[in-house]
Amino acid sequence: MDTIGFIGTGVMGRSMAGHLLEGGYKLNVYNRTRSRADSLVEKGAVWLDSPGAVAANSDIIITIVGFPIDVEAVYLGADGILANAKSGSVVVDMTTSSPKLAARIYENAAEKRIGSLDAPVSGGDIGAREARLSIMVGGDEDVFERVRPLFELMGKNIGLLGPAGSGQHTKMSNQIAIANGMMGICEAMAYAEKAGLDPMGVIACIENGAAGSWSLSNLAPRFLKGDFAPGFYVKHFIKDMGIALDSAKKMNLDLPGLTLANKLYQVLAAKGGEDFGTQALYKLYKEEINGAG
């Protein structure tokens, strides 16, 4: 049975790594802030002191860290994964990161006969906890099949979408749909409130029709109650939109809706909203509802 290395034991990673332990795998773990790996160590994971040490002692190395710059450091740095991983091992980056960087890691890995997948997820902390994540994978099919049993311990909708970078591109498609959709439910509910309707009554009336969406049914009720607690942080969403816009620009594709949504989220962040959940976009519209009108 493969020994798994797991780097990045934040809210998401901790749940995901926990499912692998429960699935019977031996686990080596590393995290920048050590204390966040404590609960996994108590359950039998082995703490190692660097990404390089995890890589050297594992067969499949999974990472889920913060930003593309962290991915770059962890994979390509001096004591990083690729400098230390064994030939024949596999690396799997589950961070939402840049498609270009995913392709670069794949190429560097291939030179050392290391398999590489990009496999970002959606579903948030709850999806991670309940092993219901969507996992969007880019890379080679044989490598995907080798890692699939691990993915199946962590998620439900698991797809190989194409070559290296395709997982990240798919996640970008996902975020583009969400960003525009979030603007839509905020505007729909702001209109409803301003018009004096009961917004929850409006949701009940429209959510099963053509206006229906996961966000309308799950996030609109939260922001209407003034609940802006993060399921998914504004600051991370801004990171993702930045990657998508950058990637679209490189492909000469204009995305006016995403550009606008990103601009609105930047305003929200500038007003101190970056640690709220994404549904806090409603705050911008709420100010208007209570404003001059």
Binding residues for its own copies restricted to 233-262, rule: CB under 8 A: 244, 247-248, 251-258, 260-261
Residue closest to 244 by CA, chosen among 132, 185, 192, 169:
169
- Which residue in 34, 212, 226, 271 binds its own copies (CB under 8 A)? 212
Catalytic residue among 156, 171, 194, 250: 171
Residues 143-182 that bind its own copies (CB under 8 A): 156-157, 159, 161-162, 165-166, 169-170, 172-181
CB of 238 to its own copies, least distance (A): 16
CB of 199 to its own copies, least distance (A): 8
Query: What is the rounded distance in angstroms from the CA atom of residue 75 to the CA atom of residue 20?
Result: 22
Assign residue 168 a region: left if phi > 0, alpha if psi is -120 to 50, beta otherwise?
alpha
In eight-state DSSP terms, residue 130 is: T
Both tokens of 103, joined, read 């392709």
| 88 three-state secondary structure | coil
CB of 207 to its own copies, least distance (A): 8
Residues 12-31 that bind its own copies (CB under 8 A): none
Count of residues engaged in binding its own copies, rule: CB under 8 A: 76
Q: Is the dihedral of CA 265, 266, 271, 275 positive or negative?
A: positive
CA atoms within 13 A on the CB side of 211: 16
Is 257 buried (19+), middle (13-18) or exposed (0-12) by CB count in 10 A? middle
Note whether 153 and 27 are within 8 A (CB): no
**37 or 183: whose CB is closer to its own copies?**
183
Point out which span in 41-49, 68-76, 83-91, 191-199 binds its own copies (CB under 8 A).
191-199
CB of 285 to its own copies, least distance (A): 8
Give per-residue burial for 96-107: e unless 16+ CB within 10 Å, then b: bbbbebbbbbbe
For its own copies, what does the binding mask look like between residues 91 and 120, x meaning CB under 8 A? Answer: --------x---------------------
Note whether 4 and 62 are within 8 A (CB): yes
**14 or 169: whose CB is closer to its own copies?**
169
CB atoms within 10 A of CB 51: 28
- 266 touches its own copies (CB under 8 A): no
- 201 touches its own copies (CB under 8 A): yes
Query: What is the rounded distance in angstroms from the CA atom of residue 133 to the CA atom of residue 125?
Result: 9
**5 or 165: whose CB is closer to its own copies?**
165
CB of 190 to its own copies, least distance (A): 6
- Which residue in 8, 52, 123, 139 binds its own copies (CB under 8 A)? 123
Active site residue 171: yes
Residue positions annotated with a catalytic role: 171
